Amino acid sequence: MPFAEGYVLPVDKPLGWTSSDVVRKVKVLLRRLGHRKIKIGHAGTLDPLATGVLLVCIGRATKRAEELQAERKEYLAGLELGATTPSFDREHPVDRTYPFEHITRESVEEALIDMYLAGVSTRQVDDISQLLWGDRMPSQTLSDKLKRIYGEIDQWRTRPLESEYPYVFVDGVWHKRSWGGHVENVSVLVAIGVNAEGHREVIGVAEGMKEDRDSWEQFVRSMIERGLKGVRLVVGDRCAGLVATVGSMLPKARYQRCMVHFMRNVLSKVPPIHREWASAALKAVFAMESRESALAKAGTVAAEMESRKLKAAANCLREGVGETTTYLLDEFPDGHRRRIRTNNMIERLNREIRRRTRVVGGFPDGNSALMLVCARIRYVTANEWSTRRYLDMSRFDDNLVEAN
């Protein structure tokens, strides 16, 4: 809701609460929703021993506080769906009805579900429901109402893939779930494709248990069965089994190891006294304009590392630089290199997922975790993320070898 632009919120004040208590609780709820710097006030003052509807003015609506306070008014407890709550403030008796035709129980429940999917915990949803509606919405009730949403999410997750996806970015998001009577870490595998028009699209989400070869093979196979085609490059971390899966199930696609994670791996084997030099040297390797020059530069840097007695870092650099410079091959346009050499795009999406799952903590089963992750992904990507063109695919060479 555009709270900052002005919003008048009718609150059915419980017995014993002061008007300041209501304003303070609304402030806390708005702060949890991300609205930290916003004005809040109330029109009129209800005695703590009285019950009734108190108007809370938010944002620019605070300018109307005196106007609303000066009127003789009887408010309808709109969130009670038609039940009139006569009450009196200290200034004037209440004799005006507040409009409520636009408020229904279904619309309030949908708003509460959207808040949950946006990152509000079940306890906070229960508090908000009790504050605005007068009835509680415990976690089990919320879970029952989410089943309809989860059905739609499962259809979205298993939808056919009709476009070609030259670039596919893959990664796993770890979370805690109950398994065999104890809690352990399991992974949700996520794949983002860039289609032939250059737009991003989440094309796969599945629980992978562990990021091993069996999990990756099952994940890629499910996307192929749904119509995945035209893949020319797969970008990801060097997860166990991912490279082998790409080679066996997408034989015409190349593999690009995330440059950022590779550099971190090399630098983790460098003592702090040499880290500044090593970081600058690695950046020089990936600043080369051709793969041949990058490999030659990497050989020079590895030799210098050995002369500085950094043998482990030198070996790590030699072993991984080949799959980390795939983006420099001639078949990939120069304008794409900056975005296809790292997994930053999917890492940003994973941060949004973790922000939501961190509120939950642990999940009772795999399906609840999978559905919430999918719901969060749809919430985050339901904007210009998917409609804005990410890459100019017209720069692809038509003479490239036909992708699988």
Per-residue pLDDT tens digits for 44-95: 665 555 666 778 888 877 777 767 765 544 433 333 333 334 444 444 444 4
Q: What is the pLDDT of residue 86?
A: 44
Q: Dump pLDDT digits (tens) for 269-326.
A: 999 999 999 999 999 999 999 999 999 999 999 999 999 999 999 999 999 999 999 9
Higher pLDDT, 117 or 253: 253
- DSSP sequence for 51-117: -EEEEEEEGGGGGGHHHHHHS----B-GGGSS-B---BBSSSB---PPP-TT--HHHHHHHHHHHHH
Name the average pLDDT for the chain: 78
Q: What band does 128 get if pLDDT is binned at 50, 70 and 90? A: confident
Among 204, 209, 207, smallest CA distance to 222 is for 204
Whether residue 341 has pLDDT greater than 60 = yes
| Selected residue with higher pLDDT from 114 and 329 | 329
Query: pTM of the entire structure?
Result: 0.67
User: For residue 124, what pLDDT is reported?
Assistant: 74
Paired tokens of 244? 């082998």
Least confident of 78-87, 98-107, 211-220, 296-305: 78-87
130-144, 186-200, 266-280, 373-387: which is most confident = 266-280
The whole-number pLDDT of residue 321 equals: 94
386, containing H or E segment: helix 384-387
- pLDDT tens digits, 266-280: 999 999 999 999 999
Quote the CA–CA distance of 328 and 315 in Å, as a whole number: 22
